[in-house]
Structures are given as C-alpha cells and as structure tokens.
Amino acid sequence: MQPAPLYIVASPRPRVGKTLLARLLMEYFLNNRRPLVGFDLNPREPMLAGRFPKLVWPVDIGDTRGQMELFDRLVADAASTKVIDVGYGPFEQFFGVIGEIGFAQEARRRGMDTIVFFLTDQAIATVRVYAKLQARVPAIFQPVHNESASLMTSTEDFPPTRPEFGTVRMPRLSQVVRGVVDRPSFSFNTYMAHQPGGPIHSWIADLYAQFRDFELRLLMGRLNSSLRWAAPGPPPPASRKSWLSG
C-alpha cells in the first residue's frame, strides 16, 4: 500500500497565507475522510493547532528533542496524510534539518511523497530561496500564488517540479470576507454544507478543485513511473547475446 503523502506549507516571508492554506488542506482532507494529522511549527502562535486541537501537534524544533519528535512521527505514521505549517520563523532551520538528516531521501525510499506547497511572492530573496530548495531537497515543489498577498507572480521564477502541475492560485479575498474566514469558529466544510450559495462557497470550491487536480496529476505521475519500471526492456542485440553465451 502506498504511504500517505506529506504536505509541507512554507514560505520564508510572513503574512502570505501559510496557515490559511494549511487550514484549507486540512479541511479538504477531512472532507474526503482521510486519516489525517497536522504539525504546527509556530511555537509562539500555534494557530493551526488552535483550529484543530485534536488533529494538530504543536512542535518546537528549536531543540534536538523537538526535531526528533517531529521527524520520528512523520516516518512512523504511513497511513495518515500529514500537513506541516512551517511558519516563516522556523523556515530556515526546518529545511536545514531536512537536509542534514536526509529526510526527503528516506521518505522517498519508503515510498512517501514529500510535497512542498510554497507560497510565492515578488521578492528576489524568495525566488532565490525557492531555487536553492529545489536544487537541494528531493521533494515535489508546488508553487502557490495567494492573490491577497501578492498581485502577481512569474511561473519562470517559481517553476513546479513537474510542469504539468502549474500553479495553485488562491483568489483574492475582500477584507470583510477575510474577517469572516478568520473567525475562531469558522469552518470551510461547515460553511460549504450550510451555505451552498454563499459568497465564499465558490472560493472554497475552486481551491478544493485545484487540490483534487493536483492529487490526480500526482497519481498519474506515480502510475506512469510504475509502468516504466515494470515494462520489459528491449532484447539484447545478437552480438551481445552470443558474447554472453560464449
């Protein structure tokens, strides 16, 4: 059985919508009745853990104990889809540890997809960080453009690991709507169930559709890879065959 994937929501910059995106992913997987666990790496303000106290573990990776706790849990639970809200504070340390311990390589060896949903922006430093991470971390990088945080982004600056994935786009929210979404009691799935014609319905439905499309493309890529590995190679040339038999 294929291990469930790991989703890492990250950006080196604050206030670009990381926790909002992590919330959406959590509720999307809950809506699809997936076994699910989350990790909130924001020790000062664990907002994701506050939203899902029974599903999300707040973890401080500022010391070795916290790092071991996090990565041990990630590899131990192969059945649950995992969502990590990295936060801009521990961003550099988190990816530094991943590189030091070879976590992405170990996850790949176990058959687990490591997916980085990277929030883009127009800062040159962010573009450079993205390129460095792609070169150093063997994960699937999926750029996400939050229109509320950045007016525009370039696909050339933030290419996905697989071209067919494109860019996930979070449409802009008005301040009034964002105030509703940010309420402590607000749930995307509850809203979808009870407000089918509400103003936020199409926004949520559009993002859920993009998540489904990403998963489908991920599955198709995995199947194509399996077929390539399973396909028999061409027979050896006659001269090679006679040399081996001789």
For residue 6, give the 3-state DSSP assignment. strand
pLDDT at position 128 is: 96
Domain borders along the chain are: 6-245
Answer for the pair 101, 74: CB distance below 8 angstroms, yes or no: no
Is the pLDDT confidence value at 246 over 90? Answer: no
- CA 133 to chain CA centroid, Å, is 14
pLDDT at position 43 is: 81
Is the pLDDT confidence value at 178 over 80? Answer: yes
Is the pLDDT confidence value at 176 over 60? Answer: yes
Is the pLDDT confidence value at 231 over 70? Answer: no
CATH of domain 6-245: 3.40.50
**What is the enclosing helix (H) or strand (E) of 73?**
helix 64-76
Q: Degrees (nearest 5) of the Cα angle 183, 17, 198? A: 50
Q: Identify the residue whose tokens are 């194509």.
A: 224
- Token output for 189: 């799935």
pLDDT at position 232 is: 58
Q: What is the pTM of this model?
A: 0.89
pLDDT at position 234 is: 54
Is the pLDDT confidence value at 153 over 80? Answer: no
Query: Average pLDDT for residues 88-109, to the nearest whole number?
Result: 94
Backbone angles phi, psi at 188, to 5 degrees: -60, -45
Percent of the chain at pLDDT > 70 equals 91
* pLDDT tens digits, one per residue of 180-214: 999 999 999 999 998 877 779 999 999 999 999 99
pLDDT at position 228 is: 59
Answer for the pair 35, 82: CB distance below 8 angstroms, yes or no: no
* pLDDT tens digits, one per residue of 39-72: 999 988 899 999 999 999 999 999 899 999 999 9
Backbone angles phi, psi at 104, to 5 degrees: -60, -35
The DSSP 8-state label assigned to residue 163 in this structure reads: G
What mean pLDDT value characterizes the chain?
A: 89
Answer for the pair 153, 145: CB distance below 8 angstroms, yes or no: yes
Neighbours of 194 (CB within 10 A): 9
pLDDT at position 164 is: 87
CA 8 vs CA 21, 28, 83, 104, 151: distances in Å: 10, 15, 6, 12, 23
Backbone angles phi, psi at 60, to 5 degrees: -100, 110
* pLDDT tens digits, one per residue of 70-95: 999 998 899 999 999 998 999 999 99
Q: Identify the residue whose tokens are 């106290």.
A: 53
Q: Which residues contact 70 (CB under 8 A, 6 or more apart)?
A: 39, 41, 59, 61
